[in-house]
Structure 1
Amino acid sequence: MIGKNVEIKYDFMSNSLLEYKVNMTILSETYNKYFSHEEALGIDEDNSQKFGIFIGVFVPCLLMLFGVIIFLRLGWIVGQVGLFTSLFIITMSAIITFISTLSMASISTNIKVGKGGVYYIISRSLGLEIGSAVGLPLYLKQTLSIAFCCVGFAESLHDLVPAWSIQNIGLATLGVLTFLAYTSVKGALKVQVAIFLIIICSFISLFTGGNLIPMHPDTYTPPNSAIGFWAVFAIFFPAMTGVESIVSLSGDLKNPSKSIPIGTIGATIVSYLIYVSIAIFLYQHVPLSRLANDPLILQDVASVPSLIILGIWGATLSSALGGLLSAPRTLQAISDDGILPKFLGKTYGSTAEPRIATIVTFLIAFLGIYFGSINVIAPVMTMICLVAYGVLNFSSGFETLMLNPSWRPRFRVHWMISIIGAILCLLTMLLIDAGVAILSLLIVFGIYITAKKNKFQGSWADIRQGILMFFSRYAIYEIAQGPSLSKSWRPHFLVFTKSSEEYSHNLLAFTEAISQSKSFLTMASFISDVNIQREKGARLSQIIQKRFKNKNIQAFVNIYSGDKVFGEVRQMLKYYGLGPLKPNTIIFGGIKTGVDSEEFSKTINSALERSYNIVIVNDEIDSIADTGLSVHNNDIHIWWSDEDRDSSELMLVFAYMIQRNPNRKKCQILLNAIVKDERVRQRRIEQFKDLSLRLRLPLKIEVYVSPEMEKVKFQFIRTFSKDADIIFMPLKKPENDENSEQAYADYLKKVSKFTSDNPNIVLVLSSENTPLESVLK
């Protein structure tokens, strides 16, 4: 309800049309008092040819809700399940529609609603992919509902004139209604007002009719109901759908942000009261047995039976005409966004009528009528309508829940109401027909995947990023505040690469081979010229991101400026990261000749102080990326060192993670070691076998003997691992005393020379805080 000033009573249905206008005026004044500042809602200035609340929204919406069911099935429902169950079915259906209407009204008062209605709202809220996934089936549902209504009208007329076939009557009816919608929306809406008056007269005829039983029955439920609750619910629920079609006319309204909430909410409330009133009236005036067996019982009750026939015709024709007005505009909006060919949305005339879209709609409806029965498609289309309602409620609920500053609707709905509406839509689909519900969801999902692959993107912002941020924030805080679970440890990488556009393929190939898109990856580059940092940095970031996307690599890209690269790296190591999302492993390119070894040594010390693992991968020669990680299944060699046991164990973890790549399942991990004598060799082999069993890792083992272990290490690696795809080798830890800085720098120079000649070598240095014992347990 908009406010306490709105009051619609039972007497409303038996009095004149004037009371409709009076109540709508009250509703409009209440809205203006609490919600409306038209200039803030982006109202179209050129609205001389457009429509207001009553003719533009309320009447079409109410006519969509007054379909064939109210005349031919409502009495049957009461006869089948009794009064109380019927009222529960009507109320439950109305609740879903009403909540969806509230959500739709809330979204429409936050944005300037364009043509396309529900499609426009969903696509601008959740993106083009989801918008098209819901919009295309919704358009088909709107179009096929035109065929349903025309066939319903034809069947009722065929009973009066048997010589005319149902098919010919239906096609002729479709042609006349299409001509009205094709030539002028204004003319079509005026016809709807006339139909609206006919339906009101039929209601008056019904409520002024006579009793078929003189007294009230004693029971509210028939003794033997042959049809179950959900079967009856499935038959009735489509009667309360169709409100979403009216939003497709938003481009023809003077002020959609005001008219849609007032018109749709008002029509939903009025239709619910009329359905309830007719159900109660029929129960009080007609035996349940006659209600259950005579679909045209309303004629026998009405004071003017012919008005009931006119009401049936009015209901079917108005619904068909409403579909012919809304469906082409949905198609036009979809084509304007590039989902379908642009020519479908072309407009004509001073009122910009989408005539090509109207013709396409006519042809689809024509096929539906021509081929007669479309009962198999009907349940799917009904489910699609519920999908649209569910997505609408979801969008409104999450927008409210996230409290983004861009969400400032004039008409506010509590987030819980909208989320409950979304859940009700899903449950209703499953309870009506779980098979059809799943089929409908599969259709929607298939369209979504197709749109995703075609990379449709709008120029507007939607709430998808906000939804992801909402859940990400919750997850990050939960991880940060929870206990540290070492079993869940995995490497998260911070990769430092060249500042040129030719970023290192090796570093990315190595990192992706380990993470397999399961870890966080940040790539950092530096530009030496501070003056071009902004322009070139942004351009490089876009180039690298595009290349990552083409290779299906997910990563953050950061471009920095600074002449002293190692100093900038140390600054970044101090501050980079967000709570538990802080990287734990740094990857550097190979140590090149001419690199300042002392500065590099300081950077390694700084990284270890902050508990980073360090990995150095050769980025000069593309052997790892081109011959190893992509296609080959050569062995991975690990050179074990007891002095650097933590690093050796971390190398095992990296090797195992690389081995799990689908294209490397045949490769083997070879564990190598150098010992000083044969006695130690035998003991080391047994240790490695025990390690293999304990870690549940199949390992090949090679242990070499040399009294001069350190002197021959590089020579042995060069000789025995020359055919290896990847060679893991531990990097020594720097000593803590000041005198060792130069010695470590000299060690890095020596390693630099060796790795330059052997590009497949990966150097690994483990932090003391890495929980390798738990990972390898």
Structure 2
Amino acid sequence: MNVIAPTNNDTSTPDVGETKKFGTFLGVFVPCILMLFGVIIFLRLGWVVGLVGISETLIIVTLAALIALVTTLSMSAIATNIEVGKGGMYYMLSRSLGIEAGGALGIPLFFRQSLTIAFCCIGFGESLHDLVPAWSITNIGIITLCILTTLAYTSVSGALKVQIAIFIAILFSLISFFTGGDVPPMDPATFTPPPLNTLGFWSVFAIFFPAMTGMESSVSLSGDLKNPSRSLPIGTISATLTAYLIYVGMCLFLAYKVPMDRLVADPLIMQDIASIPSLIIVGIWGATLSSALGGLLGAPRTLQAISDDGLAPKIFGKPFGALGEPRIATLATFGIALFGTYFGSINILAPLLTMVSLICYGTLNLSAGLETLMANPSWRPRFKVHWGISLSGALLCLIAMLMIDAGSAILCIMLVTFIYFFVRQRQYESSWTDIRDGILLFFSRSAIYRLALSDGPSKSWRPHFLVFTEPSIEQSTAVLNFAQGISRSKGFLTMASFVTPEMGSVKRKELSDSLMARFKKDNIDALVQIKKAEKVNSGMYSMIEYYGIGPLVPNTIVFGGLGKGDKTIDFVNVLRLAYQNKHNIVILNEAEKLATDDSNDLHFWWDDQHKNNSEFMLVLGYMLQLNFKRKNSKICTKAIVQNEFERIEMQKQLSHISLTKRIAINAEVYVSADLSESKEDLIKEFSRNAGMVFVGLKPPPKDTSKMDAYIVYLQGLAKNFEGLPLALVLSSDGTPLDTILE
């Protein structure tokens, strides 16, 4: 089992805290706004307006911005509740939802960030290709990628300073665009009318949506910020709102200035509008290069964080330089981006990026919404968001995924689910707490209160076993296997053991933890209670009387054997208390000989005098048969009568029970006219090859004067059934057998 320690903000030398870090504007707002002002705004925004019209375009932009803004709010809430380490969005997802969910979403997130770099390099190549047709888009993109990777590989500080220059260039290009005039007429000789629109609203939305993604890039750099909890919400929300307002203004401006067919046909239409056309080219280059550079800064840090958590090879997490820059992870990012640049295109990569973004954003919103809804004491964000807003954002993401392409959405969800279970199978054990325990407690609380209000017998009765056994897995395996075979996925199981008062609480905790770890390894669902007791029987009294919470109290007590010698009287007193408290009782004699698979049948000896016992045995047998290890075991219901007439009547009775109770049983009735032959001997004879034998147990007497006779009865059972894998069963009045079997 792998134990994962928390990821610190810094993985460099001890003086990292003294190195220069970045504030809100340079560290958050600029990287975020530059990721938002990317390929789409300059090369596809006019195409979107021309393709679907201004009304639908504004709906697309607003819907995308709404998802981005809600995600930004949720992200800010999480970021102000925890000290965000490197890895940004991956860090928040893994610390909120657990290591499995973090891995399931972090790995696709890293690939999405890497392919975003390819997306931007292709956009840069497309714009330059229009100016120099002799240069291919792919070659331009690859050369650009190599140059940017070299810059990001060398220094994150240098890369961020370059982004300031790019930010200024984009600002001037937007000013040039909004101060431009009318579009000059198109030359009819060179103008080719655009093809008819075959793309629907959601297909166009999928191509546009990457324009509103990228705010998580600033979170990926959170380890390099002076004050992440303050800078992240201010910077990301400001950037998202700024981008939305500019997008809306550009859409209206394009729709007012340019004919629709021209918008579709000319990807560089903004250059024709601008007052200084060359500034648009500079803006396109700045937008594409800055977004690519932002991806080259963010994606490696995501991979580095994933590696630090043990979900990727450790080599990717190796830090370099004063700021712990992930240079090896940068090379891995470069490799993926190179693949995307060589084989992809804008219209191919955009829907893929949209799907991964939506599933990550949706999960982030879900996490923030659940945290707020459950109101765990540990959830104290400085930036508060109503749970309804976050959960609405998660729902919006899911709806958008399904509307864009339901098949691709399902495949994407299946891929994430596969990674989740793959990580879970590796049994990584993180040393941080996450939201999952809170979710379980939240719903458990509601369920327990609801159950406490229910009245009367229930068809939903489930076995709740309290198993008394030694505090050793080796000595209790057989008993636990029996109880687990019935209760797994269908009931509750608690193992209770007792130690001397001299054993300290630390030792008891260590013993309990070791048993729980062994249960987890052996796939046994059980709770462990290690209690101090002067005598075992006094410990049992206490557990029978007081163990449980609300309606969740044990209904069946399981013992690993009959009391022997001078302890028999104590054992009988425990049985009396359990029966008086309306607990069912199961005593396993020769438990180590019980079959654990379906190689042998289950034998149930019917007793009309104690019909409740017989019916309860059938319930246990049926639930045991539901276990996959017992699915081929047959339920053989047997009975002994004194003559042929009784045999026929009993055969009819058992057949009727099988039919009306809907339990498949093989009924076998034996005639024994020889009263000298004991019933116990007959049971041993006819069940010698059984995997497990169920026999009814007489209830302990209320009258203490009859205790000696009952002790003799128990001792006789132990002697007569020696060598037989036996379960003695006593049903209490508290079990609603009529309701269960109706």
| Same topology, TM > 0.5 | yes
- Select which of 32, 49, 74 maps to 2:20: 49
Which residues of 2 match residues 132-531 of structure 1 at below 5 A?
132-212=103-183, 227-373=199-345, 376=348, 378-484=350-456, 486-500=458-472, 502-527=474-499, 529-531=500-502
Aligned to 2:64: 93
Distance 1:183 1:414 in 2: 42
Matching of residue 82 in structure 1 with residue 53 in structure 2: yes
Aligned to 2:532: 561
Aligned to 2:29: 58
Aligned to 1:33: none
Distance 1:730 1:287 in 2: 89
Aligned to 1:28: none
Change (3 A) 1:68 1:661: closer
Aligned to 2:656: 690
Change (3 A) 1:47 1:382: farther
Change (3 A) 1:714 1:185: same
Q: Which secondary structure does the structure 1 equivalent of 2:670 belong to?
A: strand
- Select which of 716, 726, 742 maps to 2:708: 742
Q: CA deviation at 1:715?
A: 1.9
Change (3 A) 1:682 1:150: closer
* Partner amino acid, structure 2, of 1:69: I
**8 Å Cα contact 1:212-1:287 kept in structure 2:** no
Q: CA deviation at 1:533?
A: 4.3
**8 Å Cα contact 1:213-1:286 kept in structure 2:** no
Change (3 A) 1:194 1:617: same
Q: Which secondary structure does the structure 1 equivalent of 2:311 belong to?
A: coil
- Select which of 515, 533, 544 maps to 1:573: 544
Aligned to 1:660: 626
**8 Å Cα contact 2:207-2:350 kept in structure 1:** no
* Partner amino acid, structure 1, of 2:98: G
Aligned to 1:722: 688
Structure 2: gaps of 5 or more residues: 1-14, 186-195
Change (3 A) 1:701 1:167: same
Change (3 A) 1:564 1:50: same
Distance 2:346 2:49 in 1: 26
- Select which of 757, 760, 763 maps to 2:728: 763
1:698-746 CA deviation, whole Å, 9 max, x = no partner? 322123233648x711222222222222111111112322322232223
Distance 1:168 1:585 in 2: 73
RMSD: 2.2
- Select which of 593, 615, 618 maps to 1:623: 593
**8 Å Cα contact 1:517-1:553 kept in structure 2:** no
Change (3 A) 1:678 1:446: closer
Q: CA deviation at 1:374?
A: 8.0
Q: CA deviation at 1:226?
A: 5.8
Q: Which secondary structure does the structure 2 equivalent of 1:530 belong to?
A: coil
Distance 1:320 1:394 in 2: 29
Change (3 A) 1:665 1:204: closer
Q: CA deviation at 1:483?
A: 4.3
**8 Å Cα contact 2:463-2:490 kept in structure 1:** no
Change (3 A) 1:48 1:607: same
Distance 2:473 2:657 in 1: 44
Distance 1:144 1:118 in 2: 17
Distance 1:300 1:544 in 2: 74
* Partner amino acid, structure 2, of 1:52: G
Which has the higher mean CA deviation after the structures are superposed, 298-307 or 731-740? Answer: 731-740
Distance 1:695 1:707 in 2: 33
Q: CA deviation at 1:281?
A: 1.7
TM-score, normalised relative to structure 1: 0.89
Which residues of 2 match residues 28-43 of structure 1 at below 5 A?
none
Distance 2:657 2:727 in 1: 22
Distance 1:372 1:73 in 2: 16
Q: CA deviation at 1:247?
A: 0.8
Q: CA deviation at 1:204?
A: 0.7
Number of aligned residues: 718
**8 Å Cα contact 1:674-1:703 kept in structure 2:** yes
Structure 1: gaps of 5 or more residues: 1-43, 215-223
* Partner amino acid, structure 2, of 1:623: K
1:394-415 CA deviation, whole Å, 9 max, x = no partner? 1111111111111111100011
Q: Which secondary structure does the structure 2 equivalent of 1:409 belong to?
A: coil
* Partner amino acid, structure 1, of 2:131: L
Distance 1:678 1:167 in 2: 92
Change (3 A) 1:682 1:75: closer
**8 Å Cα contact 2:693-2:726 kept in structure 1:** yes
1:51-74 CA deviation, whole Å, 9 max, x = no partner? 101111101100100112212222
Q: CA deviation at 1:324?
A: 0.7
Which has the higher mean CA deviation after the structures are superposed, 549-558 or 491-500? Answer: 491-500
Distance 2:91 2:564 in 1: 59
1:115-136 CA deviation, whole Å, 9 max, x = no partner? 1000011111111111111111
Which has the higher mean CA deviation after the structures are superposed, 265-274 or 547-556? Answer: 547-556
TM-score, normalised relative to structure 2: 0.93
Q: Percent identity?
A: 55
Distance 2:379 2:242 in 1: 29
**8 Å Cα contact 2:537-2:570 kept in structure 1:** yes
* Partner amino acid, structure 1, of 2:519: F
**8 Å Cα contact 1:541-1:559 kept in structure 2:** yes
Which has the higher mean CA deviation after the structures are superposed, 109-118 or 375-384? Answer: 375-384
Q: CA deviation at 1:586?
A: 0.7
Q: Which secondary structure does the structure 1 equivalent of 2:255 belong to?
A: helix
Change (3 A) 1:128 1:659: closer
Matching of residue 649 in structure 1 with residue 611 in structure 2: no
Q: CA deviation at 1:594?
A: 1.8
* Partner amino acid, structure 2, of 1:111: I
Q: Which secondary structure does the structure 2 equivalent of 1:617 belong to?
A: strand
**8 Å Cα contact 1:117-1:330 kept in structure 2:** yes
Q: CA deviation at 1:392?
A: 0.8
Moved over 6 A (4+): none
Q: CA deviation at 1:292?
A: 3.3
Aligned to 1:37: none
Aligned to 2:192: none
Q: Which secondary structure does the structure 2 equivalent of 1:552 belong to?
A: coil
Change (3 A) 1:648 1:554: same
Aligned to 1:20: none
1:27-71 CA deviation, whole Å, 9 max, x = no partner? xxxxxxxxxxxxxxxxx9925411101111101100100112212
Q: Which secondary structure does the structure 1 equivalent of 2:497 belong to?
A: strand
Change (3 A) 1:595 1:412: farther
Q: CA deviation at 1:227?
A: 4.2
Aligned to 1:776: 741
Change (3 A) 1:308 1:595: farther
Which has the higher mean CA deviation after the structures are superposed, 500-509 or 358-367? Answer: 500-509
Distance 1:303 1:109 in 2: 43
**8 Å Cα contact 2:207-2:354 kept in structure 1:** no
Change (3 A) 1:547 1:504: same
Distance 1:347 1:776 in 2: 65
Aligned to 2:191: none
Aligned to 2:560: 589
Distance 2:535 2:629 in 1: 40
Distance 1:683 1:621 in 2: 34
Q: CA deviation at 1:592?
A: 4.0
